[in-house]
Structure 1
Amino acid sequence: MEFESAVKISGLVKTFNQKEVIKNCNMTVSKGSVYGLLGVNGAGKTTIFKLLLGLLHPTAGQIEIFGKDIQIGENCILRDVGNMIETPIFYEHLSAIENLEIHLSYMGIQNTDIQKTLGTVGLHDIGNQPVSQFSLGMRQRLGIARAIIHQPKLLILDEPINGLDPVGIREMRELFKDLVKKHDMTILVSSHILSEIEHIADVIGIIVDGSIVQEIELATIEKDSADGLEEYFLNIVHGGMKQHA
């Protein structure tokens, strides 16, 4: 039986210095969807992403990616995952192409069209320019290129449009939609720019104080909430904070 969930988190707990930062968290990301993870600073978004990527290990609970327990088959599973979390780090003295070549070598992948991927994210004709000379927006584009170059099944993006101008934001929006429709990717994305999440997400997950307190289809919000996603999010967050206070 083929699993319909790209990501399934059950009873997830992560403790730092005897303090629970992720608390009995449950989450389901359907295959072929864009899932927007929303929360205020410090709510636990990036911690969940790091747990999904094996950069942190759960204190309790289970994480499944495409039906496989990540704690059992981590290396095999993560070959199907691309990611960009926090500020992307590169070899500054090397070009974009050289950075991607190193990444592919690390992944054990060959025969990938690097120039095509760079063109896909809008980095045309950059030649051998070292990354140290890149603008913030160019670095962000390169980070997205690195995340998608091995054609992952799951793409995890933390604030992917940070530093992009309005043209770049629109281009990335169309790219994300294209990756889902034409390349059968699933995207899990966080952003503080709620209007952008409204443009691309199928499902919204809202995290408050380390727990997912709401998972809802964006279409339902648009149908039932006249004030849109921003007002819906703020109402949930403020209500959730009062409950946790």
Structure 2
Amino acid sequence: MSNQAAVKIENLTKTFNGKGIIQSCNMFVKKNAIYGFLGANGAGKTTVFKMITGLLSPTTGKIEVCGMEGSKQRGNILRNIGSMIETPIFYEHLSAESNLRIHLSYMGIQDGDISSALEDVGLYDTNHQPVSQFSFGMRQRLGIARAIVHKPKLLVLDEPINGLDPMGIRDMRMLLPALIQKYDMTILLSSHILNEIEHIADTIGVIEKGHLIEEVDLKSIKMHYPDGLEKYFFNVLKKGIRV
């Protein structure tokens, strides 16, 4: 893990219909780290993810990804990001391989490794099976394969272990750190399953009502909260917003 920033956010705000959804958000995601982004439903996690990936524009503030500023180098940033935000949508009548091929074509990328991406997520043996026959967990895996097939520098995953069975969750726990080693990647993910975040994350950020109220190394959390991440998380929420 490096001390360089893969993502750097300064004074980020997002307003919808005059209401501040994200307020004065500052975030620092270290290169080659796994950053666990925690918060209750509606706290603002997905909104922040959408601004990082260019799906939403900030009202004010600055976002840098891999040293590039979002407002000025959006095209280059998008080529360096892979993401799965909300429920992934596919061409139902096509195979996993065909879906990834279309995705690469849409992005204008020639050197994506479809076979490796499907193998990484455990879908290498689906052959010509249409996605319409996939389970929910298989769809999640395919969503991650689509996010990594172009070997991005930053992987943004919103609830990636949703719908996975215990074996799938274990496989994901092994996959995400392996991606950092294999592709020199940084991972920013959210999950409500705190136990899994505790297994794999290097850094924890906690957002509450649009404010990023804590950002701390997991090692420090384990030192001060021997009962684990869940105890830390609810203690932080109990303290409330610091402005």
The TM tier, using the shorter chain, reads over 0.9
Contact 2:111–2:150 (CA<8 Å) still a contact in 1?
A: no
Identity of aligned residues (%): 61
One-letter amino acid of the structure 1 residue matched with residue 97 of structure 2: I
Task: Write out per-residue CA displacement over residues 117-148 of structure 1, whole angstroms, 9 at most, x where no aligned residue.
Answer: 21110113212111111100100000000000
Q: Are 1:159 and 2:159 counterparts?
A: yes
Q: Who is 2:12 aligned against?
A: 12
Q: Are 1:188 and 2:154 counterparts?
A: no
Task: Write out per-residue CA displacement over residues 90-140 of structure 1, whole angstroms, 9 at most, x where no aligned residue.
Answer: 111111111000000011112433122211101132121111111001000
Distance 1:9 1:73 in 2: 15
Q: Who is 1:71 aligned against?
A: 71
Q: Are 1:148 and 2:143 counterparts?
A: no
Contact 2:3–2:30 (CA<8 Å) still a contact in 1?
A: no
SS in 1 for 2:240: helix
Distance 2:181 2:105 in 1: 28
One-letter amino acid of the structure 2 residue matched with residue 155 of structure 1: L
Task: Write out per-residue CA displacement over residues 152-174 of structure 1, whole angstroms, 9 at most, x where no aligned residue.
Answer: 00000000011111111111111
Task: Write out per-residue CA displacement over residues 193-233 of structure 1, whole angstroms, 9 at most, x where no aligned residue.
Answer: 00000011000000011011000000001011122110110
SS in 2 for 1:179: helix
Distance 1:113 1:73 in 2: 25
Q: Who is 1:169 aligned against?
A: 169
Distance 1:212 1:227 in 2: 23
Give TM-score scaled by structure 1 length.
0.95
Contact 1:3–1:67 (CA<8 Å) still a contact in 2?
A: no
One-letter amino acid of the structure 2 residue matched with residue 159 of structure 1: E
Distance 1:23 1:41 in 2: 16
One-letter amino acid of the structure 1 residue matched with residue 45 of structure 2: K
Give TM-score scaled by structure 2 length.
0.96
Q: Who is 1:30 aligned against?
A: 30
One-letter amino acid of the structure 2 residue matched with residue 8 of structure 1: K
Distance 2:138 2:4 in 1: 35
Using a 3 Å threshold, how does the CA distance of structure 1 residues 36 and 12 change in structure 2: closer, same or farther? same
Contact 2:155–2:188 (CA<8 Å) still a contact in 1?
A: yes
Alignment map for 1:41-56 (pairs within 5 Å): 41-56=41-56
Distance 2:33 2:112 in 1: 25
How much has 1:185 moved relative to structure 2?
0.4
Distance 2:79 2:182 in 1: 20
SS in 2 for 1:237: helix
Distance 1:188 1:111 in 2: 24
Distance 2:124 2:66 in 1: 34
SS in 2 for 1:197: helix
One-letter amino acid of the structure 2 residue matched with residue 60 of structure 1: T
Q: Who is 2:97 aligned against?
A: 97
**Aligned CA-pair RMSD:** 1.5
One-letter amino acid of the structure 1 residue matched with residue 227 of structure 2: D
